[in-house]
Amino acid sequence: MTPHTDEGPLVDDIAARIRARIMNGELAIGKPLRQAALAAEFGVSRTPVREALRQLQNGGLIEMQPHRGAVVRVPAPWEVRQAYEVRAELEGLAARRAATRITERQLAELREHNAVLHEAAEREAGGSPATTAANDCFHTVVCVAADNPWLSRMIDRINESFPRNVSSLALAGDERHRLENIRQHEAIIEALTARDPDRADDAMRDHVISSGEHLTAWYERRSQTVFHG
């Protein structure tokens, strides 16, 4: 199963694969992760798996208790809000920088990604991998246009701390939220097209904060279900 095409250290490969499993929901939130099981699944020994798990712990995606194993982390709702406040600040900065640097080509890409989202919003539920990917790409393009690798890295770190399928699920059920999302993207594209750093910054902040509020609300509902139901 994806037999490890030798590209760099094994442990990074393993970490990436485990992260992917968590991101797409294959390894559900709260699920315990057995080193032996993962090692067997990937056809390697426990050593690189252990190191990979530690990497993921460092990134905040899982929790490890000594001698008790690792579990996919369950973020508290207020943590989501805190993280998204930071994300808003960083993505705002990215948009600000992008406004004076983005190319016509990249602007076209943004419109393309948003068109995919718009089309999907009318047709299906919205939680599909395609829409998740389009959403990711939208933000990635802005980051690339911002042309600051450190900034991109920091934003990535935040995103990698929350399972992606959860963010999608939060979008999935709410038609109104999806349309709001698309309109916010449009506002960002407009500001970038106008090469207006202040407006781009504001538009991006609004967008991220609003997403964060929806996600926080989702986690709050989920916490109630899990802990009291």
Partner DNA sequence: CCATCACTTATTGGATCCACTTCCATGATA
Partner DNA sequence: TATCATGGAAGTGGATCCAATAAGTGATGG
What is the contact surface with a second copy in residues (CB under 8 A)?
A: 8-9, 11, 47, 50-51, 54-55, 58-59, 64, 66, 79, 82-83, 85-86, 89-90, 93, 148-151, 154, 157-158
Closer Cβ to a second copy, 34 or 46, answer by number: 46
76: helix, coil or strand? coil
Q: Which does 46 bind (CB under 5 to 8 A by kind): a second copy, DNA, none?
A: DNA
As measured in angstroms, the least distance from the Cβ of 43 to DNA is 7
As measured in angstroms, the least distance from the Cβ of 100 to a second copy is 14
Q: Which does 44 bind (CB under 5 to 8 A by kind): a second copy, DNA, none?
A: DNA
Q: Site residues (CB under 7 A) for DNA?
A: 9-11, 33-36, 44-48, 50-51, 64, 66-70
Q: Which amino acid is at 118?
A: H
As measured in angstroms, the least distance from the Cβ of 54 to DNA is 8
As measured in angstroms, the least distance from the Cβ of 97 to a second copy is 8
Distance of CA 195 to the CA centre of its chain: 26
Give just the sign of the alpha carbon dihedral 169, 114, 160, 191.
negative
Closer Cβ to DNA, 16 or 125, answer by number: 16
Q: How many CB atoms lie within 10 A of CB 153?
A: 10
Question: DSSP secondary-structure letter at 27?
Answer: S
As measured in angstroms, the least distance from the Cβ of 22 to DNA is 15
* Residue-wise DSSP of 84-145: HHHHHHHHHHHHHHHHTT--HHHHHHHHHHHHHHHHHHHHS-S-SHHHHHHHHHHHHHHHHH
As measured in angstroms, the least distance from the Cβ of 129 to a second copy is 27
Closer Cβ to DNA, 28 or 194, answer by number: 28
Q: Which does 103 bind (CB under 5 to 8 A by kind): a second copy, DNA, none?
A: none
Distance CA 206, CA 200 (A): 10
Q: How far apart, in Å, are the Cα atoms of 150 and each of 75, 146, 189, 211, 228?
A: 25, 10, 23, 23, 41
Distance CA 229, CA 221 (A): 11
Q: Which does 17 bind (CB under 5 to 8 A by kind): DNA, a second copy, none?
A: none
Q: Which does 26 bind (CB under 5 to 8 A by kind): DNA, a second copy, none?
A: none
